[in-house]
Amino acid sequence: MAQENRKSHNFGYKGRPSCVLIVRFSALGDVAMSIPVVYSVCLANPATRFIYLTRKGVTGMFINTPSNLEVLGIDLDDYRGMGGLWRLFREITRRYDIDAIADIHDVLRSKMLYIFGCLKGIRIVSINKGRQHKRALTRRRNKVMLPLISQRARYREVFFRMGLVVEERFKSLFGDGKGDAHLFAEVAPEKKTGERWVGIAPFAKHRGKIYPPSLMEKVLKSVVADDRNRVFLFGGGDYEREILHGWAEAYPRVISMADKRHGFETELSLMSHFDVMISMDSANMHLASLVSVPVISVWGATHPYCGFKGWRQRSSTIVQLTMTCRPCSVFGNKPCLRGDYQCLAGIPPQLIVDKLNQVLNQVNE
């Protein structure tokens, strides 16, 4: 594949920066994907201070942060338009002695902060999203079916071009251990010896990434047929909550985590005790990866080649069909050209169950 174009703005800056503003507002999965990279960079550069600017609603993911990392969550509705973003920039630069900005989002809002930084002489490095290559991979005809640079590699490149040490230091949000069981004691019984905990997150933001609930229910039925297995269901919104509640009522040893909000720390602590997670190409895939849990990921309109595979996820645990129309979208938000979403509806439930059993057998050997 041809070398991707790179963009970097140094403005004569030499040496490592002392205080870096990292900008990534959304989406949840992309912010989660950045955590292994950001934590690693922080640990490898202890003399540099890092400020991670993001949406207030996702700051709960950043638990057990390195000592030189501060997460700044904001409500973007408070900073609308160019005037609002200029006010945000001034607030941040008055509060922190920023000498570099790592734009790992590259959208209009982050570009405005980018421009303000340039005007102040702050060093800026922006992510190269590889949009041209993603279009070639997802177009309807003459697809270029080659794996692209992963999103995490794109994040790492930003910090490398900034002159920082880039080494993989991240293991898990809980280091070598697991989350505190007391945090989820009210929603889950104590894990028994020989019991296997399985997470299932059957939904995603877009239909092109959702395995049909009727088929996922068959997967669930097979999982609970083994009385060693306890299942935890994840989802959000009234529609998802209703379905998951129904499954929890209908099947033994099934707990729906969607009945109420428990917070990132509680859910991540719970996930860290799982033996495996079944997830779509969604945020839950990345959250489980952050706590070193094996993930059986189900892919439809999207494809791992786009670069959004879970952290340290193995290719052997990916479930997908080979179809000439796949991938048709980077994010799964485009209507199905066939109209039947066969890329998902055509996946046999037993295929997912077989992958699950393979992982469980490996974990419990």
What's the whole-number mean pLDDT along residues 119-147? 96
pLDDT digits (tens, 9 = 90+) for 28-59: 999 999 999 999 999 999 999 999 999 999 99
pLDDT digits (tens, 9 = 90+) for 165-216: 999 999 999 999 999 999 999 999 999 999 999 999 999 999 999 999 999 9
Within this chain, domains 19-161 and 181-363 share the same CATH topology: yes
Let me know: does 204 contact 280? Beta carbons within 8 Å. Answer: yes
Whether the predicted model's global pTM rises above the 0.85 cut:
yes
Domain boundaries, the chain: 19-161, 181-363
Query: CA angle at residue 257 from 255 to 262, to 5 degrees?
Result: 140
What's the whole-number mean pLDDT along residues 206-234? 97
19-161: which CATH topology? Rossmann fold (3.40.50)
What's the whole-number mean pLDDT along residues 56-75? 97
Identity at 251, one-letter amino acid code = Y
What's the whole-number mean pLDDT along residues 231-254? 96
Read off the DSSP letter of residue 9: B
Identity at 77, one-letter amino acid code = D
Q: How many residues does the chain have?
A: 365
- DSSP readout, 330-363? SSS-SPPSSSS-HHHHTS-HHHHHHHHHHHHHHH
Question: Helix, strand or coil for residue 294?
Answer: coil
According to DSSP, the β-strands at 254-256 and 229-233 are parallel
181-363: which CATH topology? Rossmann fold (3.40.50)
**Residue among 102, 64, 45 nearest 264 (CA):** 64
